[in-house]
Amino acid sequence: FEADAPEAGPSDAGPAPPKYFVTFPYPYMNGLLHLGHAFSLSKAEFAVGFERMQGKKTLWPFAFHCTGMPIQAAADNLRR
């Protein structure tokens, strides 16, 4: 929610603005937290903010997908 967000719904003013989508995986702890996590998150936040300033309708759902758990399961299988 943002106070200055564009109104939802169809507009008669012309074609719909372009869309931009960014997602970031759900954080899971399988080791120590490091600056790489913050770096990756800040890149996504910067990109969605920049595209919104360019007039695009942006969507940034945090933790929309989970890529880490299959990797963790594979690592656990290799450890055994």
Cα 46 to Cα 30: distance, rounded to the nearest angstrom: 26
Which has more confidence, 71 or 80? 80
CB atoms within 10 A of CB 10: 6
In which band, very low, low, confident or very high, does the pLDDT at 18 lie, cut at 50, 70 and 90?
A: very high
Tens of pLDDT along 24-68? 776 666 667 777 777 888 898 999 999 999 999 998 887 655 565
Report which DSSP code applies to 30: S
Predicted structure pTM score:
0.58
Closest CA to 51 of 18, 25, 16: 18
